[in-house]
Structure 1
Amino acid sequence: MRINVKALLPFIITVLFLVIFILSTVTQIASHIKLGLDLKGGFEILYQVKPVDSKEKVTKELLLATERMIEKRINISKVAEPDITIEGSDRIRVKLAGVKDQTKLRELINQPAYLTFKDEQGRIVLDGQELSPNGASIGYDQLNHPEIIVKFKDPAKLKDVTAENLGKPLSIMLDDKEISAPIVRSIISDGTSAISSENLDSATEMKDLLNAGSLPAQLIEKQVNSVSASLGGEALHRTLFAGYAALALIILFMLITYRLSGLIANLTILGFVYICFLLLDWMNATLTLSGIAGFILAIGMAVDANIITYEKIKEELMDGKSIRSACRNAAKSSFPTIVDAHVTTLIAALVLMLIGTNAVKGFAIVLMMTIIVSLFTNVFGSRFLLWLLLKNNVFQKASWWFGIKSGQREINNFKRRPNIVKRRNRYLVFSTLILILGLTVILIRGLNLGVDFQSGTRLDVYVGAKFENSDLTRIIQEEIPSVKMKPVVKYGENGTSATTTFSRPIPIHQLNAVENKLKEQYGDQVSKQESTVDPMIANEMVKKAGYAILIASVGIVLYTSIRFHYLYGIACIIALFHDILLPIALFSVFRLEIDLTFIAAILTIVGYSLNDTIVIFDRIRTNLRKTTIKSVSDLEELVNLSLWQTMRRSIYTVLTVFISAVGLLWLGGEGIHLFSLALIFGLVSGAYSSIFIAAQTWLMLYKRKFQYEKAQ
């Protein structure tokens, strides 16, 4: 077939303009997107605020005062853009990225900075509350040694104290630690006193600390996530590489499978990525490792809309329609299915955002954003480009360009396929056995819960050199004795990183001791990453995880029941139970750790696994409207026909997301490996349940309804 190139000029010019514009600006936009602490190093700590006086209660005023004081402490360290938020009635969360010396800053935030002057009897005669605002400054003694000059609000009081202690030592204490004990040589009447210091850096830090003021309350660390810059950089590099590989495979798959329309889908993917970058920049969002993982998965999900539309175009073409008519009918009939499929994932993402922790919220926000963007780019954008391509009737007949062989027709093709419905009892029995086996395994072996759900400390170490697990275990046990820990496991490129988990929270000074010991043996490149969860927080997370799964499942089932029929909703409940239980059972069998990323994966499965189910249900509903059912055999034939009509698109839609998940598992950072594996288990389980559980369950339920109505 000859192609009129002149008629294609509007399409070619539009595409070239968009591609050149995107490629010329995307780098600058991407450079503005902020990276989270898990990618460039830093820490996130959830503090519980307790009054200094145990008889007092935590008030809003106390929380606000403590928040301001924490910000002042952080400003001393010159860390940019601290994120400090009050949570609940007695908690403050602090997130800091790009921190070079995490230990020093954590000590600075926690330090009460309570300055006292004590006489020989140990009585407090002066304290920091009596200092003038910003009353500390740097000075130098007669030998040019740096010292801190402090000025008091009431000079008369300092005069009285020095008069009473003339010729006697006066201990200057900071948080009950003596920093100086000068002998009072004369009565001080000008209201200023000097505190000696070892060096200028120490003097400057104490000056800033005293000017910031003492903490109005105690801060207790309840949850800690710290990441070194080296481990964060490695995770970023590996996850981005996984994204590039997955994107390349998806583009190749769409091009080979759908040819010219696949090219349009790939162009809409380019637009999808660009608009997502624009929104992230506009929202001033911070991109975390889980957010990047969600973005990579979203690329696979975005082309689902293209697949659903293009498969419908193929059906229309094989029915003998013209290309323009096929595209018009496919766009109209596929849009409700696409929206329904996206809404189920959107419900799960919304629950993740509302109930999940901060680490999971980043993933949920990215997922929600990408779902909405994909509707504009991969639905409306794809339609626009198809319209430009076809408006001048360049392609008048179905051909190789649209993946249709000359003379290929759909009529009766599917009726000759094997009868899936006929063997439904076998599939349901097999699925029931799997569920029973899964429950049995979980009850017998239990779950390998991570620190997120049973408290403790997970320690990740970047060694940067070859090492033996036994050597790391020995060093750790020397510094942290008498604490139960899991075996040390190697990971990362060339196995230069390791991880282990302790049964209880480990204090920061012991973790620092481990890091210092490893540096002595392997070099200064050694760095650590810590995740500590208090038992109280772990219990709260268990409840949140349960509520999240329950609420998301109920919301999706209700939506399906409203959009279709309550029988479809019942079938969805059974399929969802299967899809949730199977990954949990497999994690139990292989003793894989269940943490918050696993829950994020389960909720993604809850939303996404029903995509195929909705596509199948939509086809069953459409066929029911077109067909008069006279017998049970007619009903069975209709369901079997619907399954085969949607089989290819069911496989393809799962395949694109499967490519993304496998890319993350194989090439991505260690922090998202278990997330990716749980997602893969769920995708396989969801694809199976859509065809062999949900559709078969609906058939059994509808058959009873049909027989009952027929008997009336």
Structure 2
Amino acid sequence: MQHSPIRAIIILLVAVLGIVIAMPNFLPKDVQASLPGWLPKPGLVLGLDLQGGSHLLLEVDRSGIVEQRLSDLRRDARNVLANQNGIGNLITTDPATNSIYIELTDPSQKPQAETALRGLQNTLSNVMFGGTGVEELAFGETADGKLSVTLTPEGITQRMSSLVAQSLEVIRSRIDELGTTEPSIQRQGDTRVLVQVPGFGDSQRLKNIISQTARLTFHMVYPGMSAEQAEAQGLPAGTMVLPTQDGTKELVYEDVALGGESLVDAQPSYDQQRGIPVVSFKFDTRGAITFGEITSQNVGKRFAIVLDDTVITAPVIQQPITGGTGQISGNFTTASANDLAVLLRAGALPASLDVVEERTVDASLGADSIRAGLTAGVVAAVLVVGFMVIAYGVWGVFANVSLVLNVILIFAALSLMGATLTLPGIAGIVLTIGMAVDANVLIYERMREEQRSGKSPLQAITAGFERAWGTIVDSHLTQLVAAVVLYFMGSGPVQGFAVTLGLGILTSLFTSYTVTSYQVGLWYRRVRPKTLKIQHFRFIPDGTKIPFMKISRYVIALSIIMSVISVGAAYFKGFNLGIDFVGGTAIEVQHTEGPADVGRVRELLDGLELGEVQVQGFGTPEDVLVRVQAQEGGQDADQAAVTKIRDALAGDQYEIRRTEAVSGTVSGELAWKGTIAVIIALACILVYIWFRFEWQFALAAVTTTSHDIIMTIGLFSLTGLEFNLSSIAAVLTLVGLSLNETVVVSDRIRENLRKHRKMPLPELIDLSINQTIVRTSLTQFTVLLALVPLVLFGGEVLRSFTIAMTFGSLVGMYSSVIVNGPILINFGLKQKSDDPTTPANKEKSTDGATV
């Protein structure tokens, strides 16, 4: 409580910096642009769910890479054997073993053939492991004397990783060509690329531009034989059959006469003679020379222009083209010609990319989400701030000042990190508002206890801060463990929630202790009160002697029954799983002319033959949620389903506001990662509490937390609330919240074990619970004050999340107060010996040193 100029300077500096860094994010764009150069630029980015836009998770097509690599390998093997060494051969491909097999017409040439084939070995560098090389090919011989060349698994993996790195630059170039602002393009593991484009609502066009390989090649058409004849009689050596845009087929040479890598420009244009959109292209010097040679040597022959293994056009070469320019004509519209020009200018993707996750949010829905989040935040803040003043008077004002600074510091930290603020992120901040005053309540309640024990006001204030600190750290760290696990195991918006929750936990350690203690010190030196009137309102009176242990057997029996019901419901009834876990497409539509008619929407969609289609009300009376099972045929079929639904509903004045499509691969991964996340969180907390307390406390804490998880999961099953990725976030957050209460009670039990060595253990646990229940009820109420506005005003997207959090927090209080004590006894917690020299009592023996 002594005045410290250094502490005052630190608090003032942190507060000013926090305000300066956070403030620009809340100013209009024109005001931001006019800010002085020395001020930090706004670093906080709104997520797609708040400003609208498109989110795509793309995955390199492994089978496509292997197929293309085997095709190239077969061509290269034929070239080195027949063309360069005159070795006759017959090559077959086996996709099942990722191999090609070479049968020689003259077996005596086998040594020479083996030497030639080994020259095809390609060593791929592995940058992540010090530049070590990975051999792509393995050579061998079959039992019947054929030579084999096989793609190694390590080589395939390394090639995929390299192709992802190359794809990032191509995708960035393509998106830049579209003129969009602030796109986010990130690598996800070895095989995936995450693309987020704010403000770009046409996800189909974006997907077409990003995921299309756009590999442009030029091939000579095989003369004198049609594709149909070749398929009937057998393909001539070195040829292949490719489809055309108009549904026919062409027989072309496998060898690429000229590749699209020689292009330097491509522009949409218009053929005046034929009156159709075309794409004009221009080669570099080398490409122009090659193009001139090909057209000069093949006048009167057909020349196929191939895009992604589809023949766009195959005109007859009328005359040599020596200028290095030409044009591509096909079934183009003006828009498709422009998109093709964009693709060709940006370059071809080195491999095809499949869309495994797609989310699109309309800008109007983003504005609604911002409004919902702000409303929930303002209401929660007003309720929490008002309650703290009612409950603690001037002490509540101290807590509220710390709370305001805490929120400012969260936004400042997010801005410095350049983080993305999502709707779940706003929910994390709102939840932090309810949780941040928990430390202040702990301190204040400890002060009241110290004053009742006969200490002077100054001694009570000092002891309150000192003796509450250990409990504050323990409770905050258990919540932080859950937030960290949530960040590393979650994805997208869930990570946004984890970031804001984690930052709020860290900043509240500073504001609730350091800032509040400084305010209290200033007040005490000015007022010098003879007694401390800290609390003005409480739910439970002081000095309660509720016999919790006497009713414990009934409570445990009730918990067992509820747990069995929850597990039984989960096993027999199951869950209303969201697309995060089952795959498929969710489409939010809004009726633009009054309330939606769910029955009419079902009627319009029944005849589309899309498999299982669920239609339900969603949020406001105008909104409807349509869920469609994953379609056979992959991403293209899923997108076709969305188009069918859009067309079917367009005539009845429905517009699509949001789409989410998740492949079966990703949904399985999310379900597995969610399960692992909960297990890891429980394991980490078990280790931490075991280290800080004793093994009985650790096992009891994990048992009560598991009880809360089972109850919450039972809620999802019994009520039919949608269980999705945000539900896992709710469960993990509840792990932290539940343990917060459990740690406070356990900490008091541990303290009383040292203080009341001869008190029977059930009485001691009753005493500990009654001593902490005033604080528990108050902090739980402030959390509910933050959660209820999220339920009412946070929007339908967060509804299942916030309901689960509200239910889980109540169950967490119940288990921490009533269930935890009997479990401690059953796990064999013992009273301390009176001898302070025994190993069990070699901890700090002085009363004031306990935490």
- Per the TM superposition, whether the score is higher than 0.5 is yes
- In structure 2, relative to structure 1, the CA distance for the partners of 1:244 and 1:384 (3 Å cut) is same
The aligned amino acid for 2:170 is: M
Post-superposition CA distance 1:59-97 (Å, at most 9, x none): 232221122222222222122232222233322222222
- Aligned 1:451-490 pairs, distance under 5 A: 451-465=579-593, 466-479=595-608, 481-486=609-614, 488-490=615-617
In 2, Cα distance between equivalents of 1:80 and 1:381: 40
Matched, 1:637 2:763: yes
**What is the match of residue 266 of structure 2?**
136
Higher helix share: 1
Q: Does the CA contact (< 8 Å) of 1:231 and 1:462 recur in 2?
A: no
**What is the match of residue 305 of structure 1?**
439
Tell me by how many angstroms 1:381 deviates. Answer: 0.8
In 2, Cα distance between equivalents of 1:593 and 1:160: 64
- Counterpart among 94, 111, 126 of residue 212 in structure 2: 111
**What is the match of residue 87 of structure 1?**
188
Seq. identity, %: 31
In 1, Cα distance between equivalents of 2:577 and 2:552: 36
**What is the match of residue 591 of structure 1?**
720
**What is the match of residue 625 of structure 2?**
499
Q: Does the CA contact (< 8 Å) of 2:587 and 2:656 recur in 1?
A: no
The aligned amino acid for 2:473 is: V
- Counterpart among 431, 440, 447 of residue 568 in structure 2: 440
- In structure 2, relative to structure 1, the CA distance for the partners of 1:536 and 1:138 (3 Å cut) is closer
Tell me by how many angstroms 1:541 deviates. Answer: 1.8
**What is the match of residue 159 of structure 1?**
292
- In structure 2, relative to structure 1, the CA distance for the partners of 1:21 and 1:208 (3 Å cut) is closer
**What is the match of residue 742 of structure 2?**
613
Tell me by how many angstroms 1:201 deviates. Answer: 5.7
**What is the match of residue 626 of structure 1?**
755
**What is the match of residue 646 of structure 1?**
772
Matched, 1:360 2:510: no
Tell me by how many angstroms 1:464 deviates. Answer: 3.4
Post-superposition CA distance 1:645-686 (Å, at most 9, x none): 111111111111122222111110222111111111211111
- Of structures 1 and 2, the larger Rg is shown by 2
Matched, 1:573 2:702: yes
Tell me by how many angstroms 1:438 deviates. Answer: 1.9
Q: Does the CA contact (< 8 Å) of 2:696 and 2:829 recur in 1?
A: no
In 2, Cα distance between equivalents of 1:341 and 1:290: 23
In 1, Cα distance between equivalents of 2:736 and 2:14: 33
In 1, Cα distance between equivalents of 2:492 and 2:749: 40
- Counterpart among 553, 556, 559 of residue 685 in structure 2: 556
Q: Does the CA contact (< 8 Å) of 2:585 and 2:630 recur in 1?
A: yes
**What is the match of residue 149 of structure 1?**
281
The aligned amino acid for 2:262 is: S
Q: Does the CA contact (< 8 Å) of 2:424 and 2:497 recur in 1?
A: yes
In 1, Cα distance between equivalents of 2:506 and 2:17: 22
Q: Does the CA contact (< 8 Å) of 1:30 and 1:277 recur in 2?
A: no
- Aligned 1:245-644 pairs, distance under 5 A: 245-399=379-533, 402-403=535-536, 414=543, 417-465=545-593, 466-479=595-608, 481-486=609-614, 488-493=615-620, 495-505=621-631, 507-522=638-653, 526-629=655-758, 632=760, 635-644=761-770
Q: Does the CA contact (< 8 Å) of 1:141 and 1:147 recur in 2?
A: no
Q: Does the CA contact (< 8 Å) of 2:555 and 2:818 recur in 1?
A: yes
Tell me by how many angstroms 1:116 deviates. Answer: 4.0
Q: Does the CA contact (< 8 Å) of 2:393 and 2:536 recur in 1?
A: yes
In 2, Cα distance between equivalents of 1:498 and 1:280: 34
In 2, Cα distance between equivalents of 1:142 and 1:586: 67
In 1, Cα distance between equivalents of 2:473 and 2:377: 26
Post-superposition CA distance 1:364-394 (Å, at most 9, x none): 1111111000001111111111111112344
In 1, Cα distance between equivalents of 2:493 and 2:196: 11
Q: Secondary structure at the match of 1:217?
A: coil
The aligned amino acid for 1:99 is: F
Q: Secondary structure at the match of 1:507?
A: helix
- Counterpart among 787, 795, 802 of residue 669 in structure 1: 795
Q: Does the CA contact (< 8 Å) of 1:515 and 1:528 recur in 2?
A: no
In 2, Cα distance between equivalents of 1:200 and 1:108: 15
- In structure 2, relative to structure 1, the CA distance for the partners of 1:573 and 1:20 (3 Å cut) is closer
Q: Secondary structure at the match of 2:526?
A: coil
Which shifted more, 597-606 or 175-184?
175-184
Which consecutive unaligned segments of at least 5 residues does structure 2 have? 28-41, 71-150, 223-249, 632-636, 839-851
In 2, Cα distance between equivalents of 1:158 and 1:133: 11
Tell me by how many angstroms 1:577 deviates. Answer: 1.7
The aligned amino acid for 1:92 is: V
Tell me by how many angstroms 1:434 deviates. Answer: 1.5
**What is the match of residue 239 of structure 2?**
none
The aligned amino acid for 1:105 is: L
- In structure 2, relative to structure 1, the CA distance for the partners of 1:589 and 1:47 (3 Å cut) is same
Q: Does the CA contact (< 8 Å) of 1:170 and 1:181 recur in 2?
A: yes
Tell me by how many angstroms 1:312 deviates. Answer: 1.4
Tell me by how many angstroms 1:159 deviates. Answer: 3.0
- In structure 2, relative to structure 1, the CA distance for the partners of 1:141 and 1:628 (3 Å cut) is closer
In 2, Cα distance between equivalents of 1:702 and 1:530: 54
- In structure 2, relative to structure 1, the CA distance for the partners of 1:255 and 1:150 (3 Å cut) is same
The aligned amino acid for 2:735 is: V
Which shifted more, 354-363 or 151-160?
151-160
Which consecutive unaligned segments of at least 5 residues does structure 1 have? 1-6
The aligned amino acid for 2:195 is: V
Q: Secondary structure at the match of 2:613?
A: coil
TM-score normalised by L of structure 1: 0.88
Q: Does the CA contact (< 8 Å) of 1:114 and 1:127 recur in 2?
A: no
Matched, 1:685 2:811: yes
In 2, Cα distance between equivalents of 1:502 and 1:287: 29
The aligned amino acid for 2:643 is: N
Q: Secondary structure at the match of 2:201?
A: coil
Q: Does the CA contact (< 8 Å) of 1:148 and 1:203 recur in 2?
A: no
Q: Secondary structure at the match of 2:778?
A: helix
Post-superposition CA distance 1:24-80 (Å, at most 9, x none): 985423353210112111222222212444246242322211222222222221222
Q: Secondary structure at the match of 1:112?
A: coil
**What is the match of residue 352 of structure 2?**
218
Q: Secondary structure at the match of 1:397?
A: coil
Q: Secondary structure at the match of 1:392?
A: helix
**What is the match of residue 4 of structure 1?**
none
Which shifted more, 91-100 or 179-188?
179-188
Tell me by how many angstroms 1:236 deviates. Answer: 2.0
Tell which has more relative contact order, 1 or 2 (C-alpha 8 A, sep 6+): 1
**What is the match of residue 193 of structure 1?**
326
In 2, Cα distance between equivalents of 1:200 and 1:418: 79
Tell me by how many angstroms 1:200 deviates. Answer: 6.7
The aligned amino acid for 2:489 is: I
In 1, Cα distance between equivalents of 2:464 and 2:552: 31
The aligned amino acid for 1:613 is: T
In 2, Cα distance between equivalents of 1:53 and 1:699: 61
Which shifted more, 655-664 or 440-449?
440-449
Post-superposition CA distance 1:502-539 (Å, at most 9, x none): 2325511320232243233216xx22422222222222
In 2, Cα distance between equivalents of 1:652 and 1:447: 34
- In structure 2, relative to structure 1, the CA distance for the partners of 1:468 and 1:337 (3 Å cut) is same
- Count of residue correspondences: 684
- In structure 2, relative to structure 1, the CA distance for the partners of 1:705 and 1:448 (3 Å cut) is farther
**What is the match of residue 698 of structure 1?**
824
- In structure 2, relative to structure 1, the CA distance for the partners of 1:463 and 1:150 (3 Å cut) is farther
Q: Secondary structure at the match of 1:84?
A: strand
Tell me by how many angstroms 1:345 deviates. Answer: 0.4
Q: Does the CA contact (< 8 Å) of 2:258 and 2:291 recur in 1?
A: no
Tell me by how many angstroms 1:223 deviates. Answer: 2.0
Tell me by how many angstroms 1:700 deviates. Answer: 4.1
